[in-house]
Structure 1
Amino acid sequence: MTISILQIGADDWTASITSCLEWHHTTILDLPTFLARQRDPYVLEQDYVVLTDDVLESTLLSSQIEEWPALRVIYFANQISKDFQDILTERRGFRIEEHTPALVEKRIIDDLSSGQHGFSKSFTEDQFLPQVPKDIHFKREGRFSTKFEGDFGETWQQLGTIIAGKDDFQNNSANEVWLAYDHTEEAAAALLFVFYQLGEIVQQQMIYGEDLHQLKVVVPPEMYDGYEILVFGKGKGLLDFQSIHQRRHRHGLGHLLPGGVWQKTNENEEILNYFNPGNRQKPLIVSFADTRLYVDGFEMREALNTLESPYLLFTDSRVQGGAFDIGTVEYEKSVVQIIKQKIKILGFSPEDVILMGSSMGSYPALYYAEDINPGAVVLAKPILNLGAFTAGSKISRSFDQGWRLDVRRYLTGRVHPDDNEKLNQKLWQHIENTNWTNIQVALFSVTNDEYDGQSLQQLLDFFVEHNTPLTHVTEEGTHMDKLDEMVDFLTTNLEKMKQTMRMEGE
């Protein structure tokens, strides 16, 4: 995909740009004239603005950047006036060290394309080949937990091999690697990335110890035709492997998306979020992603960009498709803190927030209403009773292989029918004392929702009991049907709520 660039600076770099970048140039003084020649002078038509002057202090330029969308400016100047820097920070501009045409061009191509490249390799029987040492106990629990327990010795012992493919790495790019695993204090794990060319090893990279609890970068060789990931253990105790996540490395400019944020709790659970301050006018839309069984990524970005309002995206990459953005006390507090931080940054109040989600994402949109007290909640095809939902081993999606049971195991530590009611009640108990009379709810459902259709009437009764202002639309179909109608419902109701909230604030 071609990336369009508007360069603003004294020197025109156009002749030095050699790639597929669509390059436009103007000076600061000529910027008003350049914009006047566009179809709409008030719209930034290019994907990014690159500021190439060494000194940035122009009020004309900073005022224009303040009006343009966030996450669209690239700069490298060292001399920047305070007011100009404040605007660049608020607009979430990308600061880079490169300052020549060739290097800036490469940085844009390598790190600022909008495509999300993220996936996981699980320790299942089709992706992990175990090599169990003598006297080591090996056990699989579902499709996300593979355990080795015993005395591994004082030197690294191979425990198995993850099957990998050459396409895991995009052309000329590295990956950030995150291993989701648990271990007892005296047991240690390691990953060895081995790259081959014509059957010969051409490069190896080992990650071990505390580095496995951070994002580590794996850089493939220029030429290779395959690679594999060897898994090792040493010490004594338990190693519980869940999944290996790999995402395109953007060299400090974001995770999954340019500007995306990766956070880790003290319990080694990752939280991925993406914040766009938009036009700084209410509401703040907080959107939770649906199930993502094989690829990591944020959802609804393009649709929310058209609304121009601030938005915050969450995606849950735990287990093998997500665990409904809930879990331990620390995990849930972290999610709430992230939302409240963005409310504070924008100078908003809780009633200026809309929580939204579809399918799996509908659960946290409802759940965190208790903690945020938002002005509105937008839901589609909700999955609410996690006990009933996770009780079966199969789901109607033909490509799922036990994800529901793994969610149950992840949230309760086991798979047992005695947990049904506890899981079912988690949501209802959490939101019971919320003042729903002040929360506008928009709900989209389908008549034959085989995922968690039994909870729909319970939700409707709950809203009646709590005097909730509700807009409810139902379409004929099953859970995977009427996707276009669902997206239209979400965007239409977000637009209506946006207009209402802004009128009430005038």
Structure 2
Amino acid sequence: MSERIKVLQIGTSNWKERRSLPSQLEWFFVTPPNIKQVLAEIKEGPFFTKPKERKKFDVVFFTEFSGIENIECLDNLVDAYRVIYVAGLSIKKGAVKQFLRKKMAWKVPAETQDKLLAEIATCFFEKQNGIKMAVKTIEVAATFTGNCSYQGNSALTLEGNFGEDFKPLAFWRNSLYVDPGKTLEIWPEYYKEGNCKLKLFFYETVNGSSDSQQASWSVTEDQLQSPLIIKGTHNNDSGTFLNVILYAQGTGKISLGALHYRWSRQGFGQFIPGGQRFADKKRQEFLYYFDPGDLKPPLNVYFSGYRSLEGFEGYFMLKKMGAPFLLISDPRLEGGAFYLGTDEFEGKISNIIQAALTWLDFNNKQLILSGISMGTFGALYYGSLFQPHAIIVGKPLLNVGTIAINGKLLRPQDFDTALDLLQLLLKTDSQSAAVKLNQRFWDKFAFADLSETTIAAAYMENDDYDRDAFQKMITGFPNNQVKIIGRGYVGRHNDNSPAIIKWFLAQYHYFLRNDFERNLL
């Protein structure tokens, strides 16, 4: 059974009575003047009947604003990016404008009603899903006679003559599964040099079918400049499988990275409604999501930790605090690449943080950066640029080169992502490269002024990733001006995550209550 999407329409004419609705939609209608009274009944009515059911609508859809009163009563019934209104409506009341701004509402064309209903049914599902097929799943065609080399699990490089016509060059051993009722979004990592061209071919197999005739199609490089959307598969009951083959033509060098595939929300966000992505010229991605919260300081920025499944981390944790927040996630390598990249890549992360502050009309002293494990690197690395009110970290990892070196004796074959990161950024995994990567972090702090910033850090005393991170934090920051609050726990990096998280949240609550006068449950 497909997921049910709860929709509240507010207007003068019920769309359910005018047209056939997609089967996924549970539709409720209310006229603007009756909104407060009817919503009070909805909370106890047929929409929210299960004891642990989330008391929120998946979508609130405005087809009329005239006569609406008490729009603030909707505030706790719908999340940001889940409000839609028809273009051309008259919006006169300040409270309505403020509500739409706070909810980051989507304005949609009035003339595409059937299309809009179909998009609501397929784009506003609850969960997020993203997977990557790693470099180790790539098979090179037996007919390729050029040079082939691996840069760990960061890339596979193929160099030579690929032929005058397009020929198969490589394929991914695993199939992509297209879930019933879902649209798939695909983003291949690759970088090429020379006079060569690429095509991706897709071959579809219906789940459970023995039919030898398969649907197939190809896409060009021009079509791969933005994420490739695949919808309308041939089986919406049990799903289909897609096999992917890379074809090449000409001569040159092609570096292949991971092949990412995700549930798509099409124009309504990445992973979650309102989620966004950025890719630099080398097709290296990061993800970000901004939620205005209650529009009051501070802005809380959270960098996701290491996660094999792609998507956002910390949404419900930050949402519960009520303040505006920004989530940043790194989907590269096996579980993330520590938010390091090209100048373009890192500059965009800084710009997004600044853009959120500007949108909210906040200053740097109304900013908190945070992260756990891999996310601590991002919080401190970018925190050096902003001189925020506070930086909150749990299990800090600062010397990524040292983590790679420790992989030889302390953690053999346990965290090879650190070696992959050396290959991704410096094209080598030598000892000197590891030292250089360490210095990349500390160079950020050489001229940073953190005299008005408090760093709260919970660390593991026997950390087997970056054992001296906390001590170097104390001695390595310039002029010893920064205020550091520390709490150590006995054990290795992953031995007591619950205690770290508990302390991490306690610091957040302390800053929000005492420095920003926020009441938290």
What's the TM-score, normalizing by structure 1? 0.89
Q: 1:453 aligns with which of 467, 479, 482?
A: 467
What letter matches 1:254 in structure 2? G
Q: 1:150 aligns with which of 150, 160, 175?
A: 160
Residues 226/327 of structure 1: CA separation in 2 closer, same or farther (3 Å cut)? closer
Matched with 2:395 is: 381
Matched with 2:47 is: none
- Work out the percentage of aligned pairs sharing the same amino acid: 24
The question of 1:29 aligning with 2:33 is answered: yes
Matched with 2:228 is: 216
1:420 CA displacement: 2.4
Return the alpha-carbon distance in structure 2 between the equivalents of residues 399 and 248 of structure 1: 31
Return the alpha-carbon distance in structure 1 between the equivalents of residues 509 and 297 of structure 2: 11
Query: Is contact 2:58–2:124 with CA below 8 Å preserved after alignment?
Result: no
1:149 CA displacement: 0.7
Matched with 2:204 is: 195
Equivalent runs, 1:188-267 vs 2, <5 Å: 188-197=197-206, 198-219=210-231, 221-223=233-235, 226-267=241-282
The question of 1:420 aligning with 2:442 is answered: no
The question of 1:178 aligning with 2:192 is answered: no
Q: 2:421 aligns with which of 400, 407, 419?
A: 407
1:422 CA displacement: 1.4
Matched with 1:161 is: 171
1:289 CA displacement: 0.8
Matched with 1:47 is: 57
1:112 CA displacement: 1.0
What letter matches 2:8 in structure 1? L
Residues 436-462 of structure 1 show CA distances to partners (whole Å, capped at 9, x for unaligned) of: 221112111122221112222212334
1:27 CA displacement: 2.0
Q: 1:319 aligns with which of 302, 326, 333?
A: 333
Residues 13/64 of structure 1: CA separation in 2 closer, same or farther (3 Å cut)? same
What's the TM-score, normalizing by structure 2? 0.86
What letter matches 1:204 in structure 2? S
Return the alpha-carbon distance in structure 2 between the equivalents of residues 419 and 286 of structure 1: 30
What letter matches 1:245 in structure 2? H
**Range 460-469 or range 208-217, more displaced:** 460-469
* SS of 1:92 mapped into structure 2: coil
Query: Is contact 1:205–1:218 with CA below 8 Å preserved after alignment?
Result: no
1:65 CA displacement: 5.7
Residues 14/471 of structure 1: CA separation in 2 closer, same or farther (3 Å cut)? farther
Residues 390/222 of structure 1: CA separation in 2 closer, same or farther (3 Å cut)? same
Matched with 2:125 is: 113
Return the alpha-carbon distance in structure 2 between the equivalents of residues 176 and 193 of structure 1: 13
**Range 55-64 or range 327-336, more displaced:** 55-64
Return the alpha-carbon distance in structure 2 between the equivalents of residues 96 and 395 of structure 1: 57
**Range 201-210 or range 15-24, more displaced:** 15-24
1:270 CA displacement: 2.2
1:353 CA displacement: 0.6
* SS of 1:173 mapped into structure 2: coil
Return the alpha-carbon distance in structure 2 between the equivalents of residues 413 and 2 of structure 1: 48
1:259 CA displacement: 0.6
What is the alpha-carbon root mean square deviation over aligned residues? 3.0
* SS of 2:516 mapped into structure 1: helix
Matched with 2:82 is: 72
Return the alpha-carbon distance in structure 2 between the equivalents of residues 152 and 59 of structure 1: 64
Q: 1:483 aligns with which of 485, 497, 513?
A: 497
* SS of 2:501 mapped into structure 1: helix
1:189 CA displacement: 1.9
1:104 CA displacement: 5.7
1:12 CA displacement: 4.6
Unmatched runs of 5 consecutive residues or more in structure 1? none
Query: Is contact 2:411–2:464 with CA below 8 Å preserved after alignment?
Result: no
Matched with 2:12 is: 10
1:378 CA displacement: 0.5
Query: Is contact 2:144–2:162 with CA below 8 Å preserved after alignment?
Result: no
Unmatched runs of 5 consecutive residues or more in structure 2? 45-53
1:357 CA displacement: 0.7
Count of equivalent residues: 496
1:26 CA displacement: 2.6
* SS of 2:465 mapped into structure 1: coil
Residues 177/20 of structure 1: CA separation in 2 closer, same or farther (3 Å cut)? closer
Query: Is contact 2:129–2:262 with CA below 8 Å preserved after alignment?
Result: yes
Residues 225/260 of structure 1: CA separation in 2 closer, same or farther (3 Å cut)? closer
Q: 1:362 aligns with which of 355, 376, 380?
A: 376
